Homo-oligomer: A and B are copies of this chain.
Amino acid sequence: MEAVMNNISVEKAKTSKIHEVDFENLSFGSIYTDHMLVCDYVDGEWKTPKIVPYQPITLDPSAKIFHYGQSIFEGMKAYKDDNEKIWLFRPLENHKRLNKSAKRLAIPQLPEAYFMEGLTALLQLEKDWVPTTPGSSLYIRPFIFASGTGFHASPANAYKFIIACAPSGTYFSGSVKVLIEETYSRAANGGVGYAKAGGNYAGQFYPTQLAAEKGYQQVIWTDDNTHEFIEEAGAMNVFVRIGDTLLTAPTNDRILDGITRKSILDIAKDEGIKTEVRKVSVHEIVEAAKNGSLKEMFGAGTAAVVSPIGAFGYKGEDYELPELKDSFASRLKKRITDIQYNRAEDKFGWRYPVS
């Protein structure tokens, strides 16, 4: 069956897998919806995107994605409100960041219309897949990779842009125990840390495994030069509350400019919380933990939303964080999710209707 939505051709799946899915017990990112958006870059241009049944991708063994890590991605969510209406959260920011990543990875810029119209058409088709169990949402994964071929370390001449969707539960359950890293690093000055490039993630797996063996679920990355300043976690930016001030590191070329991070900063200001965007040293955090002024730490990201950090390890010592009743983390999480799920006024204009 062929149809056209927002100028995008749609080839519908013959059968749906939706009835096989246990929406009450969703894990994160492991079940995919019936359709995906595909858009090819060939002969120097992005062709019109198409919606097709979710299906395998076939590539030559010399496709550059297999050899040179030329790939970028985004992570977004679609939220269903009580009236079954579907919403996105600041999707234009994801498009902007995708193109920022694309530039750094020598991938051609993707037109905004292809991204936004493709996304909207796909979500309209997949609307029944957006879960309503508390804490769950439809995780959306736009990605671009080098499909052009050749064993020559240079940019590909062909790319694929795909959007796939996965109904998902929470990323972390409960509070997270993190290790502040002293040896390994995530990103170089002048490198690709600020881009959502595939290679940034693979490089974190081994140090994260080492941390997991010691009982930590995530690593807090520090600058690669001195390891004295905290940067971010594997898939979250990091906030620290000392006394009544909320601190987070400034973005730079090593840190992903998180959309949740900047939204949290805006909401915090709106809540009258004192915020400081400045370098935060490990020394300062450890001292604050010792003298009792360290009140909270939490991660913020699309997948993890706002994830409280229960304890951190540093140089062989563990430091527990207090359990607060009315924490900044819980207030900020409620504010941002109320906007995302259309349960509260959207004074910042962040919600984006899909249907």
A residues lining the B interface (CB < 8 Å): 28-30, 32, 36, 54-63, 65-71, 73, 75, 103-106, 139, 141, 143, 145-146, 149-155, 162, 164, 166, 168, 171, 181, 183-192, 197-206, 208-209, 224-225, 227, 234-235
Residues of B within 8 A of A166 (CB): 62, 151
Pair A209/B106 contact, Cβ less than 8 Å: yes
Residue of B at shortest CB range from A103?
Answer: B206
Pair B190/A28 contact, Cβ less than 8 Å: no
Residues of B within 8 A of A150 (CB): 29-30
Give the docked Cα–Cα distance between A198 and B66 (Å): 7
Pair B198/A203 contact, Cβ less than 8 Å: no
Residue of B at shortest CB range from A182?
Answer: B190
Pair B205/A106 contact, Cβ less than 8 Å: yes
Residues of B within 8 A of A28 (CB): 151-152
Pair A68/B190 contact, Cβ less than 8 Å: no
Residue of B at shortest CB range from A207?
Answer: B190
From B63, B155, B183, B197, give the contact of A69 (CB < 8 A): B197
Give the docked Cα–Cα distance between A74 and B206 (Å): 20
Residues of B within 8 A of A67 (CB): 71, 73, 141, 143, 198, 201
Residues of B within 8 A of A200 (CB): 69, 199
The 3 lowest CB-CB distance pairs between A and B, nearest first, are A199-B199, A29-B151, A69-B198
Give the docked Cα–Cα distance between A59 and B63 (Å): 13
Pair B71/A61 contact, Cβ less than 8 Å: no
Residues of B within 8 A of A227 (CB): 190
Decide yes or no: A202 and B191 within 8 Å by CB, A30-B150, A66-B65, A152-B29 being known contacts: no
Give the docked Cα–Cα distance between A96 and B152 (Å): 23
Pair B70/A205 contact, Cβ less than 8 Å: yes
Residues of B within 8 A of A191 (CB): 184-188, 191, 203, 224
Extra contacts besides A69-B69, A151-B164 (15): CB < 8 Å: A28-B152, A57-B60, A57-B63, A65-B198, A69-B71, A70-B201, A70-B202, A104-B203, A105-B202, A105-B206, A106-B209, A151-B168, A155-B205, A190-B227, A192-B202
13 contacts between A and B (CB under 8 A): A32-B61, A65-B65, A69-B198, A69-B201, A71-B202, A104-B203, A183-B190, A184-B191, A185-B191, A192-B203, A197-B199, A198-B202, A199-B199
Decide yes or no: A155 and B209 within 8 Å by CB, A62-B32, A184-B190, A224-B188 being known contacts: yes
Residues of B within 8 A of A190 (CB): 181, 183-185, 224, 227
Residues of B within 8 A of A155 (CB): 205, 209
Residues of B within 8 A of A192 (CB): 199, 202-203
Pair A199/B203 contact, Cβ less than 8 Å: yes
Pair B199/A153 contact, Cβ less than 8 Å: no
Residues of B within 8 A of A29 (CB): 62, 150-152
